[in-house]
Amino acid sequence: MGLFERLTGMEYLKFVGRMYGLDTATTQHRSEELLEFMQLADRPKSMIADYSHGMQKKLALAAAVIHGPRILFLDEPFEGVDALAAGALKSLLGRMTERGVTIFLTSHVLEIVERLCSHVAIINKAALSPKVLSKNFARVSPAKRAANLHSKKFFFLRRSKRHGTRSVGELSWLT
């Protein structure tokens, strides 16, 4: 996953935050908040090498958002992730989209696509399929969806409305 395995989660986030140009205090504050949100704060001395796959995924996502990006590209973010970790990831992605972040993500899992995305496109044989590109996935007929399930990769993005963002107490710095 490209993480430094002999660092703790906190050390890794601090390093990434500083490399993004955040000051020390901001990096420290956000690292603590992200670890808490991702339920990784209860093992402060554990090295990343000792994390489960799901924990590593959560940490990687935390590192990707520590500087408050406006656009995010994720490749199979839910692959190999347990249900609890997937819940945390979805929750974080949901918060980000509520705040106006645009997220591109790929998945082979139709259920995730349906639940999370506002815009859907399907890539077939390395090309974007023009017939099934849809602004509203629900409009695609079930038969067409089923026909595209096999050996095709779902590519979709979610884009939230800029207005009407909710106030969320924690992670308030995310955009």
Partner 1 sequence: MADVNAPPGLLEQIRLIAGLRWRILRNGLRKKNNRADLIA
Q: Under the rule (CB under 8 A), what is the footprint of partner 1?
A: 4, 6-8, 11, 15, 18-22, 26, 47, 67-70, 173
**Which of 109, 16, 103 lies closest to 59 in space, CA to CA?**
16
Between residues 70 and 115, which has the closer beta carbon with respect to partner 1?
70
Burial label for 155, CB within 10 Å (0-12, 13-18, 19+), is buried
Task: Give the angle 100-85-168 at the CA atoms, nearest 5°.
Answer: 35
Q: How far is the CB of 129 from partner 1 (least distance, A)?
A: 32
Nearer to partner 1, 125 or 162 (CB): 162
Least distance from partner 1 to the Cβ atom of residue 153, Å: 28
> What distance in Å separates the CA atoms of residue 161 and residue 97, rounded to the nearest whole number?
8
Between residues 26 and 106, which has the closer beta carbon with respect to partner 1? Answer: 26
For residue 156, the minimal CB distance to partner 1 (Å) is: 23
